[in-house]
Amino acid sequence: MSGRFISLEGGEGVGKSTQARRLAEALIQRGVDVVLTREPGGSPGAEAVRALLLEGEGERWTPTTEALLFAAARADHVARTIRPALARGATVICDRFIDSSRAYQGAAGVDDAAIMALHAIGSGGLLPDRTLLLSLPPGEAAARAMARDGGNADRIGGRDAAYHAKVATLLASFARAERRRFRFVDAAGAEDVVTRRLLVAALDGTAG
Ligand SMILES: Nc1ncnc2c1ncn2[C@@H]1O[C@H](COP(=O)(O)OP(=O)(O)OP(=O)(O)O)[C@@H](O)[C@H]1O
Ligand SMILES: Cc1cn([C@H]2C[C@H](O)[C@@H](COP(=O)(O)O)O2)c(=O)[nH]c1=O
């Protein structure tokens, strides 16, 4: 039996973690076996790599090293958490996945083909069945992130507005190129309203 794999993507502060949790709760209420996880992280080894990636000086890693570390963390997460959950038929909800590497490391100059080659080596090229791309005007997302962190962003979140604009452009281009996998979801409005939009988009094309 193989479960369903759903990822949430989007820029900083759009509400992915909030909505990943809410979506998991909504599906659990419907009797679905759900594994809620995140990247970077989601397994003990990958959580250790998360600290290396998100803490320290801005220039701690070169863009290529950063891409390798994300791919290594993902390989452990996929092998130890995601594939076992899918194999038992669970629905996996993942707060960020490969498209974050394509967008963030891509915006830092790493070639998309190289990122996908690392993903093929590390994780067998696993792709989500559905990727929900949350979109929000940049000012609104920045205000949410500021209210949450008070300006103490992590090593990558703290990069400048031009970098984050590039990330958003790349994510939107991936969604336009892969319409079967992606759904654009408006992340504006009250949390419960956004969750309802996500549920529809997550289940669209399935019997559930
Ligand atoms: N629909 C909403 N309306 C208002 N505030 C929200 C909404 N959804 C989330 N928030 C708040 O916005 C902040 C950012 O949300 P969250 O941490 O879920 O975003 P994120 O996309 O996971 O961010 P990041 O990628 O930076 O970790 C949090 O303080 C959260 O409580
Ligand atoms: C998976 C992944 C993440 N990133 C970046 C994106 C964010 O700035 C941080 C993660 O922080 P969050 O609060 O958990 O969203 O890491 C990245 O650059 N590449 C990736 O593959």
**How large is the ipTM?**
0.98
Q: Are 4 and 206 in contact (CB under 8 A)?
A: yes
Distance CA 125, CA 135 (A): 25
Residue 208 has pLDDT above 70, yes or no: no
Q: Hunting for tokens 């309802």 — which residue is that? A: 196
Residue 81 has pLDDT above 70, yes or no: yes
Residue 1 has pLDDT above 60, yes or no: no
Q: How confident is the model over 124-134, as a mean pLDDT?
A: 98
Q: How confident is the model over 16-43, as a mean pLDDT?
A: 98
Residue 118 has pLDDT above 60, yes or no: yes
The SS3 assignment for 78 reads helix
Q: Are 98 and 119 in contact (CB under 8 A)?
A: yes
Q: How many CB atoms lie within 10 A of CB 169?
A: 11
Task: Report percent pLDDT > 70 for the chain.
Answer: 99
Task: Using the atom order of ligand 2, give the atom closest to the CA of residue 154.
Answer: 8
pLDDT at 206: 84
CA of 141 to the centre of ligand 1 (A): 8
pTM for this prediction: 0.98
Cα end-to-end distance, the chain, whole Å: 16
pLDDT at 205: 82
128 vs 138, higher pLDDT: 128
The SS3 assignment for 83 reads helix
Q: Which CATH superfamily is domain 5-203 in?
A: P-loop containing nucleotide triphosphate hydrolases (3.40.50.300)
In short, whether 61's Cβ falls inside 6 Å of ligand 2 is no
In short, whether 96's Cβ falls inside 6 Å of ligand 2 is yes
Q: Hunting for tokens 């996945």 — which residue is that? A: 97
Q: What is the pLDDT of residues 151-184, one digit of tens each?
A: 899 999 999 999 999 999 999 999 999 999 999 9
